[in-house]
Amino acid sequence: MTRILFFALGAVWASPYSLAGLLVGLIATPFGARPRFARDDFALIFHRFPWGPGGAMTLGNVILNTNTHLDSLCTTYAHRAGWCVEPKTRIGDHERAHVLQYMALGLLFLPLYFAHGGVSARNRFERAADRYALTGKDWWPWLEANAKPAGAKSAKTTKPDKSAKTTTTRH
Contacts with Zn ion by CB under 5 A lie at 126, 129, 170-171
Least distance from Zn ion to the Cβ atom of residue 95, Å: 7
- Rounded Cα distance between 90 and 70, Å, is 7
Least distance from Zn ion to the Cβ atom of residue 89, Å: 10
Least distance from Zn ion to the Cβ atom of residue 123, Å: 8
Residue 46's identity, in one-letter code, is F
User: Cβ closer to Zn ion: 13 or 113?
Assistant: 113
**Residue 65 and residue 80 in contact, taking contact as beta carbons nearer than 8 Å:** no
User: Cβ closer to Zn ion: 47 or 98?
Assistant: 98
- Rounded Cα distance between 85 and 114, Å, is 26
- Rounded Cα distance between 83 and 75, Å, is 12
- Rounded Cα distance between 133 and 20, Å, is 25
Least distance from Zn ion to the Cβ atom of residue 170, Å: 5
By beta carbon distance, the residue nearest Zn ion is 129
Least distance from Zn ion to the Cβ atom of residue 158, Å: 22
User: Cβ closer to Zn ion: 131 or 171?
Assistant: 171
User: Cβ closer to Zn ion: 126 or 138?
Assistant: 126
User: Cβ closer to Zn ion: 29 or 106?
Assistant: 106
- Rounded Cα distance between 159 and 23, Å, is 42
Helix (H) and strand (E) counts for the chain?
A: 6, 7
